[in-house]
Amino acid sequence: MAKKKKARAKGPSVKLNGRKVSQTRGGVASQGLRRFVLPLTILGLLVAGIGFFSFSGYQTATASSFFSIRNIDVRGTERTSADDIRRIVTAAAEKPGVWNADLSDIRVRIEKFPFVKSAAVSRVLPGGIRVNVIERVPAAIVHVTSGNFLVDGEGVMLGAASATDKQFPFVLQGWDEGKTEKAVPENLARLKVYKKMLDEWTQFDLASRVKEVNIANPREPTAIIEDSGHAISISLARDNLGKSLKTAIEATSGKGAKIKSVDAGGIYPVISYME
């Protein structure tokens, strides 16, 4: 018995040299795929080309002289040199221009200045950059191994103290220079006592009589005054710094050559004389 031949699926016929030729389904699919991929490829190349030329044009435009740095506005500086800040901005923005300048990098550089707590850097297009600075405010003069330095209310060393820092007539002794965990909170406690001393003694017009204070132990503060050319150590009442200093100064007035120290922590000052 003869086997029947399986019919082969034929696709639609097309004319080739005037003759009809049938296509298989695979051929039809292949032609359809080519008709889809070719336009997509061309479209992708066009988009990439447009993107490339657009980016190149953008780079050229933003680096043009239109965005050259012409003005640097620095605000909020008192102890930090505005000219030094302008030099940093100029060096960072002169070549790339204002539009392409790295503002974050400029801010980081400015915040390395000792008195700068924070800085905000912004563009003022087309040719300007503005820098708003918040400075650290000195809270005391402290004595350390390398000399007398200004510190702010957070205990951050700001720079060497000078004779022009008249708002701090006396120096804080007893500052902990260590990097231990307890150093920071203890130094903050010292600053708190120092501020209280400065406020009360300025009110009583006594601050100018004090040369230095020792707050190594904030619970037992002492002050050094000078009378008749001699230094006198005074132990103060922690809760009444103004009155205890006032009574000690009154008790020692004109007797500095004979007096070694005064304990003014009680109701009446107790004087220790030279032997």
**194-210 average pLDDT score:** 94
- H or E segment at 128? strand 128-135
In this prediction, residue 165 carries a pLDDT of: 86
Query: What number of residues does the chain have?
Result: 275
In this prediction, residue 207 carries a pLDDT of: 95
CATH 1.10.3130.10 for domain 66-135, yes or no, is: no
Q: Map residue 151 onto helix, strand or coil.
A: strand
Assess whether pLDDT exceeds 60 at residue 1. no
CB proximity list for 201: less than 8 A, separation 6 or greater: 207, 210, 241, 242, 245
How far apart CA 108 and CA 86 sit, in angstroms, is 14
From the list 117, 110, 48, 45, the residue with the least C-alpha distance to 81 is: 110
Assess whether pLDDT exceeds 60 at residue 30. no
Yes or no: say if 64 and 35 are a contact pair by the CB < 8 Å rule: no
Vertex 106: Cα angle to 103 and 112 (nearest 5) = 145
Q: How many CB atoms lie within 10 A of CB 155?
A: 19
Yes or no: say if 260 and 232 are a contact pair by the CB < 8 Å rule: yes
Q: How many CB atoms lie within 10 A of CB 134?
A: 15
- H or E segment at 134? strand 128-135
How far apart CA 143 and CA 149 sit, in angstroms, is 6
For 26, 115, 199, 223, the CA distances from 220, given in Å and listed in that order, are: 99, 31, 18, 10
pLDDT, mean over the chain: 85
How far apart CA 170 and CA 189 sit, in angstroms, is 17
Enumerate the domain spans of the chain: 66-135, 138-273
From the list 219, 221, 228, 220, the residue with the least C-alpha distance to 252 is: 228
From the list 112, 71, 114, the residue with the least C-alpha distance to 89 is: 71
pLDDT level of residue 267 (50, 70, 90 thresholds): confident
Assess whether pLDDT exceeds 80 at residue 41. no
What is the per-residue pLDDT across 53-92, written as a single tens digit (0 to 9) for each?
Answer: 444 444 454 556 778 999 999 999 999 999 999 999 999 9
What is the per-residue pLDDT across 222-257, written as a single tens digit (0 to 9) for each?
Answer: 999 999 899 999 999 999 999 999 999 999 999 999
**113-137 average pLDDT score:** 96
> How many whole angstroms from its chain centre is CA 88?
16
Q: Model pTM greater than 0.75?
A: no
28 vs 271, higher pLDDT: 271
